[in-house]
Amino acid sequence: MAGATVKADYYEILQVTKTSSDSEIKTAYRKLAMQFHPDRNPGDHTAEEKFKECSEAYGVLSDPQKRAAYDRYGHDAFGGGRGAPQGGGFPGGFSGDPQDLGDIFGDIFGEMFGGGGGARKGSRAQRGRDLRYDMTLEFEEAVFGKEQDIRIKRSEACDDCNGTGSANGKQPATCSQCRGAGQVRYQQGFFSVARACPKCEGSGVTITDPCKTCHGESRVQREHTITVKVPAGVEDGTRIRYQGEGEAGKLGGPSGDLYVVLSVKAHKFFQRDGDDLHCVVPVSFPQAALGDELEIETLEGSALLKVPEGTQSGKTFRIKSKGVPHLNSHGKGDLIVEVRVQTPGKLSKQQKELLRQLADTMKVDNAPTSHGIMDRVKDIFS
């Protein structure tokens, strides 16, 4: 078509007549589009031009209003036709909107590749967005669980228009740019690429008489209270999903989900390792050497821990079932107590004297050793 000064007649291009019906025009276009489709004629410039020509003709003749205007004014109906800026984006001056080309391409691709139609049929409804709520828990709340009401701001279907976005029960109009397909196709080299229609954002419809309450959005922002049940045994970073409690979908689409994301504060002396708890308990040298019974604070009251005679610093003891409940099952982890022998920093005169007497009775070989030092120290007392 480059350099052509006289535009060919749209009816001639599609090999139909002025009296042809819509379906005859569609059939004719489909036949030609399949014949000249760039995917079928790679590198063939003439075929590409033919394809564009057919698409342009069909773009006008498939639209009753444009067809009427064309019948009356010819190519002048479209501001000189070629080169006029259009939303379609076909390079080379395709002056018709891509409209239901989406559908027809879907059919063509279906036939060409044996699939069930390459184009997504315009689904009006859109799923709502997921929401995230961050909740901070005390250490004990994560261990024992908690129930808390939270208030979230989210979009919900507008009551006044039943989520349609239109006032007075009016139906939304088919989008004029994509003609309800929800997507437009672009010619990119030899490929046609689908993209969500920029005018209706993929919904395929436009609201002509918007609801006063939601301004045509079909949804309104509202506060909503949800009772969050934190089960016992959750960890830092656990996400609780509430299906369908996110933002409402657009035009009747399903709601998104709400995710409550937990962050758990540290405890002043317990540390978690899975469902086990760890803590460190200081003991004096005489307690470790002679043995003792200690009262250990746990998350559920106190527990007795028997430290046997000759306990080395760093030795760990396990107190059964005093840890964190297993999430979603029975039982609990353990409490693991590490005993650390404290060396006194300040001593009275009397204590120093007693220790000197003691020191005279225990001599340790201070030669360096690599491993097994603990065993050797133990030997001294046994």
Give the footprint of Zn ion on this chain (CB under 5 A): 158, 160-161, 211, 213-214
State how far the Cα of 37 lies from the Cα of 55, in Å rounded to an integer: 10
Which candidate, 243, 258, 236, 250, places its Cα nearest to that of 327?
236
Cα separations (Å) of 174 from 104, 144, 341?
17, 55, 80
The least CB distance from residue 221 to Zn ion, in Å, is 12
Q: Which token pair is 81? A: 């036709």
Nearer residue to Zn ion within complex by CB, 212 or 378: 212
The least CB distance from residue 160 to Zn ion, in Å, is 5
Which candidate, 117, 240, 226, 135, places its Cα nearest to that of 181?
117
Q: In which residue are the tokens 């209270």 written?
A: 225
Q: Which 3 state secondary structure label does DSSP give 32?
A: helix
Nearer residue to Zn ion within complex by CB, 14 or 211: 211
Residue 325, amino acid: P
Which candidate, 129, 136, 135, 149, places its Cα nearest to that of 221?
129
Nearer residue to Zn ion within complex by CB, 28 or 214: 214
Nearer residue to Zn ion within complex by CB, 216 or 323: 216
The least CB distance from residue 253 to Zn ion, in Å, is 15
The least CB distance from residue 199 to Zn ion, in Å, is 20
State how far the Cα of 74 lies from the Cα of 72, in Å rounded to an integer: 6
Nearer residue to Zn ion within complex by CB, 197 or 214: 214
Measured over the CA atoms of residue 214, residue 217, residue 221 and residue 227, the dihedral's sign is positive
Q: Which 3 state secondary structure label does DSSP give 308?
A: coil
Nearer residue to Zn ion within complex by CB, 131 or 214: 214
H or E element, residue 70: helix 64-73
- 63 contacts 22 by C-beta, under 8 angstroms: no
The least CB distance from residue 156 to Zn ion, in Å, is 11
Nearer residue to Zn ion within complex by CB, 146 or 219: 219
Which candidate, 154, 199, 196, 150, places its Cα nearest to that of 174?
199
Other CB atoms within a 10 A radius of the CB of residue 72 amount to 9
The least CB distance from residue 142 to Zn ion, in Å, is 41
The least CB distance from residue 224 to Zn ion, in Å, is 17
The least CB distance from residue 125 to Zn ion, in Å, is 16
Nearer residue to Zn ion within complex by CB, 158 or 178: 158
